[in-house]
């Protein structure tokens, strides 16, 4: 059950909680000051007495306040009001959602007029608060069949004040479509691999058709005819057939798409014959995270009717060991006729992407291409779970992606692609091998292989292995699948292509 979010004219509710923001030094908004007056100064007095510093996102609850009908009042801290931008307001929404849940509040009214000094305009602030509440409220509990009442989320309805209501509603409608895309990705990434096979992931892609997305699904016979030997080599060990899915959103009537998004969709990565150790192998159900982000982004931009022409291509396979699996040492031929010696069957993502990238460019002739992949464990060594790795052949594209990531707090960090790294993937018997030599620069070696499948257009590769799943949440991102990349790419499209 999702939270019922609505916008209302400012007025004190007769029940439930009332939430007001406060900046450092006790800075209240107009409605905050009114409320404090009705409570005979209890708000600021109580905050001071309990050393509430209005630190960012910290909350304080005043139960059963005398003088008003509401059940409780909650303060939420903004810290320095001058530093509060739209993204920060969404994070305030997230903090409110968490605190309401913690205090087991069922219904709340949030006063969204913020203290003087906040530069975010009023309808935007109201919409961002609701958006933050929405993003934070995500849960994947499809497989809990007997949750006790106290284990279920309590908050069922939040009203956010806005004047006029219509402007906030309009702005929120677009943000809520982005949240739909984020939730779609989180659901896909959370699904176990026995449920979400390549065929089922293709079916999930088809579910975007009612939004106006053109979806095509390519089955193995077609992939063979196209010569996708690298992708098929990964798939050949699995009883679950591979698929390649293309998606197209024509928000602008141009012949060439502005952008192609390409995603690694390994629905489960055992490593193949180069099998992984069993510790944490269950994490490899989210090795389709790149494909999940492509589908979620398509859902977001189609949902809000973005004025851009964007295509998506996802390569969907399962990497299993079996009597039919490919062996270390096998040589495969890609769609563009290059040969790859498969030294390690666990470096399968780049094999899938080699063919998916080439197909995306040949089929659609996009002006630029961005791929997303949970490609290397080495990116975790370099960046941890805080930033994704960026590899890019074009400074403008790199800068614009960096800016989009900063704006939505999905941060990325650029790595080099110097030609000196090419020797890492030289093979004795083929055009290249699928791993570097030794343990050094593992993420760059992966990116360098992908680079060989780029046909002279601006290209960016996002290695999202470190950011796709989190056991501990962060603001706007509950524990589990993060959908890192959806908000970034949606923002990139909005700022640069529309």
Reading the block at residue 25, the tokens are 């030094």
Whether 194 and 153 have beta carbons less than 8 Å apart is answered as: no
| Binding partner at 339 among Zn ion, ligand BES, Mn ion, none, C-beta below 5 to 8 Å by kind | none
Residue 350 appears among annotated catalytic residues: yes
269 binding Mn ion? (CB under 5 A): yes
The answer to whether residues 57 and 76 touch, using CB atoms and an 8 Å cutoff, is yes
Per CB under 6 A, the segment of 13-21, 245-253, 369-377, 481-489 that binds ligand BES is 369-377
Q: What is the 3-state secondary structure (H, E, C) of 69-95?
A: CCCEEEEEEEECHHHCCHHHHHHHHHH
CB of 372 to ligand BES, least distance (A): 12
Task: By CB under 5 A, tell whether 36 contacts Mn ion.
Answer: no
Tokens of 265: 């969709």
Nearer to ligand BES among residue 8 and residue 331 (C-beta)? 331
Q: Which does 333 bind (CB under 5 to 8 A by kind): Mn ion, ligand BES, Zn ion, none?
A: none
The contact pattern for Mn ion, residues 311-350, with x = CB under 5 A and - = no contact, is: -----------------------------------x-x--
How far is Cα of residue 264 from the mean position of the Cα atoms in its chain?
Answer: 14
Nearer to Zn ion, 288 or 476 (CB): 288
Q: At 247, list the tokens.
A: 């998606």
- To the nearest 10°, the Cα dihedral for 380, 381, 385, 390? -60
442 binds ligand BES (CB under 6 A): yes
Binding pattern to ligand BES, positions 412-441, x when CB under 6 A?
Answer: -----------------------x------
Nearer to ligand BES, 237 or 349 (CB): 349
Report, in Å, the least distance between residue 374 CB and ligand BES.
Answer: 4
Return the number of other C-beta atoms located less than 10 Å from residue 143's C-beta.
9
Residues 237-266 that bind Zn ion (CB under 5 A): 266
Instruction: Tell me the two tokens of residue 309.
Output: 């022409």
With H, G, I as helix, E, B as strand and everything else as coil, classify residue 52: coil
Task: Note whether 191 binds Zn ion by CB under 5 A.
Answer: no
Residue 109 or 376 with smaller CB distance to Zn ion? 376
Residues 6+ positions from 404 with CB-CB distance below 8 Å: 488, 489, 491, 492, 495, 496
Known active-site residue 428: no
> In the complex, what is the shortest distance from the CB of residue 207 to ligand BES, in angstroms, rounded to a whole number?
25
Among 23, 132, 271, 349, binds Zn ion (CB under 5 A): 349
Site string for ligand BES, 282-311 (x = CB under 6 A): -----x------------------------
Residue of the chain from 236, 270, 374, 482 that contacts ligand BES (CB under 6 A): 374
Cis peptide before 164 (omega within 30 of 0): yes
Q: Is 224 helix (H, G, I), strand (E, B) or coil?
A: helix
Indicate which residue of 33, 139, 252, 276 is catalytic. Answer: 276
Q: Does 378 help bind ligand BES (rule: CB under 6 A)?
A: yes
Active-site annotation holder among 27, 177, 350, 387: 350
């409110």: which residue's tokens?
A: 96
* 388-404 residues labelled b (16+ CB within 10 A) or e (exposed): bbbbbbeeebbebbbeb
User: What is the C-alpha separation between 278 and 305, in angstroms, rounded?
Assistant: 44
Scanning residues 332 to 351, which ones bind ligand BES (CB under 6 A)?
Answer: 344, 346-349
Q: H helices of 108-218, where?
A: 122-136, 165-190, 198-206
CB of 176 or CB of 287, closer to ligand BES: 287
Contact flag: residue 450 with ligand BES (CB under 6 A): no
Partner from Zn ion, ligand BES, Mn ion, none contacting 344, C-beta within 5 to 8 A by type: ligand BES
- Contacts with 225 (C-beta within 8 Å, 6 or more apart), sequence order: none
Q: How far apart, in whole angstroms, are the C-alpha atoms of residue 135 and residue 178?
A: 10
Instruction: Note whether 463 binds Mn ion by CB under 5 A.
Output: no
Phi, psi of 249, deg, nearest 5: -115, 115
Tell which one of 36, 187, 287, 410 touches Zn ion (CB under 5 A): 287
- Dig out the tokens for 395 from the structure: 């400074």
CB of 440 to ligand BES, least distance (A): 11
**Catalytic (active-site) positions:** 276, 350
List of residues contacting Mn ion (CB under 5 A):
269, 346, 348
Give the footprint of Zn ion on this chain (CB under 5 A): 266, 269, 287, 349
């Amino acid at each position: 059950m999702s939270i019922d979010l609505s916008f209302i004219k400012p007025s004190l509710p007769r029940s439930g909680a009332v939430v007001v923001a406060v900046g450092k030094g006790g800075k209240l908004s107009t409605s905050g000051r009114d409320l404090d007056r009705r409570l005979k100064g209890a708000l600021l007095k109580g905050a001071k007495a309990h050393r509430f510093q209005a630190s960012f996102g910290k909350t304080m609850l005043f139960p059963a306040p005398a003088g008003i009908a509401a059940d409780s009042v909650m303060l939420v801290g903004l810290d320095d009001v001058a530093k509060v931008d739209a993204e920060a307001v969404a994070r305030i929404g997230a903090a409110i959602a968490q605190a309401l849940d913690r205090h087991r509040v069922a219904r709340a009214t949030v006063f969204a007029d913020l203290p003087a000094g906040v530069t975010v305009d009023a309808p935007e602030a109201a919409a961002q608060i609701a958006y933050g509440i929405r993003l934070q409220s995500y849960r994947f509990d499809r497989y809990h069949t007997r949750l006790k009442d106290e284990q279920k989320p309590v908050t069922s309805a939040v009203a956010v004040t806005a004047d006029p209501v219509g402007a906030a509603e309009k702005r929120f409608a677009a943000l809520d479509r982005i949240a739909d895309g984020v939730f779609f990705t989180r659901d896909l990434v959370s699904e176990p691999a026995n449920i979400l096979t390549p065929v089922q992931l293709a079916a999930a892609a088809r579910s975007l058709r009612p939004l106006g997305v053109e979806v095509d699904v390519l089955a193995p016979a077609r992939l063979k005819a196209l010569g996708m030997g690298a992708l098929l080599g990964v798939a050949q060990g699995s009883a679950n057939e591979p698929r390649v899915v293309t998606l197209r959103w024509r928000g602008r009537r141009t012949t060439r798409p502005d952008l192609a998004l390409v995603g690694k969709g390994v629905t489960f990565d055992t490593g193949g014959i180069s099998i992984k150790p069993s510790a944490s192998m269950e994490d490899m159900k989210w090795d389709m995270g790149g494909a999940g982000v492509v589908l979620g982004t398509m859902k977001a931009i189609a949902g809000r009717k973005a004025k851009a022409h964007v295509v998506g291509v996802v390569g969907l396979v399962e990497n299993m060991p079996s009597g039919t699996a490919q062996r270390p040492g096998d040589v495969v031929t890609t769609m563009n006729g290059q040969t790859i010696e498969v030294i390690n069957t666990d470096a399968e993502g780049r094999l899938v992407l080699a063919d998916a990238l080439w197909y995306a460019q040949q089929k659609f002739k996009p002006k630029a291409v961005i791929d997303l992949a949970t490609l290397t464990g080495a990116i975790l060594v370099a960046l941890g779970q805080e930033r994704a790795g960026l590899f890019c052949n074009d400074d403008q594209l790199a800068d614009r992606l960096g800016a989009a990531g900063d704006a939505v707090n999905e941060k990325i960090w650029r790595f080099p692609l110097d030609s000196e790294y090419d020797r890492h993937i030289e093979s004795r018997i083929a055009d290249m091998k699928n791993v570097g030599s030794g343990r050094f620069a593992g993420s760059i070696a992966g990116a360098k292989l992908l680079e060989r499948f780029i046909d002279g257009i601006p290209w960016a590769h996002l290695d999202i292995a470190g950011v796709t799943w989190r056991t501990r949440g962060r603001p706007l991102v509950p524990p589990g699948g993060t959908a890192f990349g959806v908000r970034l790419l949606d923002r990139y499209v909005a700022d640069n292509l529309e």
